[in-house]
Amino acid sequence: MTDNNPNFLRRIRSFVKREGRLTPGQETAIKTAWPTFGLDAGTPINPTELFANDNPITLEIGFGNGESLVDMATNNPDRNYIGIEVHRPGVGHLLRRVLEKELRNVRVFDTDAIDVLQLAIPDHSLDCVQLFFPDPWHKKRHHKRRIVQTTFLDLIHAKLKTGGSFHAATDWENYAEHMMDRLNAHSGFANSIKTGYAERPNYRPLTKFENRGLRLGHGVWDLIFIAN
């Protein structure tokens, strides 16, 4: 099987679902906030109706506990954010923070990003897609499970507006090289800085995990490519 196979994304699972236990606060937040902020992957969205405005839309795949997504939404009220995360405690934490901060520019999916992209997101509707610290599948025999493959980039490209950006970040150098190779080979994307890796932009918050890694001397690689 190659990453050009149209069924590749359906057959290869690019993440491991670690369910964990919901705290009472997370469970309450999901029950309270989901009717307003939760989305169904099987229902196509209308972005203008969803947010009641025409502001730019950023979609983040795998937002973890949601802290960085909440920071971005708080600091950029003139931009809309759609987050995808399969880990329910992370969804609960994000929604609790959304309620606390009274945010209105965030919506959430709690299922596989591929299903969301294929079924719910209209073509050419996104201004930015973010993929921060995805599972690196560091063993060579597992590299086929890495989400950044040609077919995935085809799908991302279809959802981005012309001039929209795909921003990925990883702390695994081998995965950074893998993503760079795939993106450089894709005719629909151009490196925003012509060649090489980008500096972390101010809009991407540093996570606690990333700060700890930096203190230990670990590298972080950002890739920002523009859809043409």
Active-site residue list: 135
**Angle (CA) 138 143 145, round 5°:** 110
CA 126/CA 79 separation, integer angstroms: 11
* Helical segments of the chain, H only: 8-11, 24-37, 47-51, 67-75, 88-101, 113-119, 150-159, 173-185, 208-215
Q: How many CB atoms lie within 10 A of CB 129?
A: 25
- Which strand (E) or helix (H) includes residue 146? none
Contact 183, 129 (CB under 8 A): no
Q: How many CB atoms lie within 10 A of CB 43?
A: 8
Tokens 């050009």 appear where? 4
CA distances from 131 to 127, 148, 204 (A): 14, 9, 11
Residue 123 makes CB contacts below 8 A (sequence gap 6+) with: 158, 159
Contact 90, 66 (CB under 8 A): yes
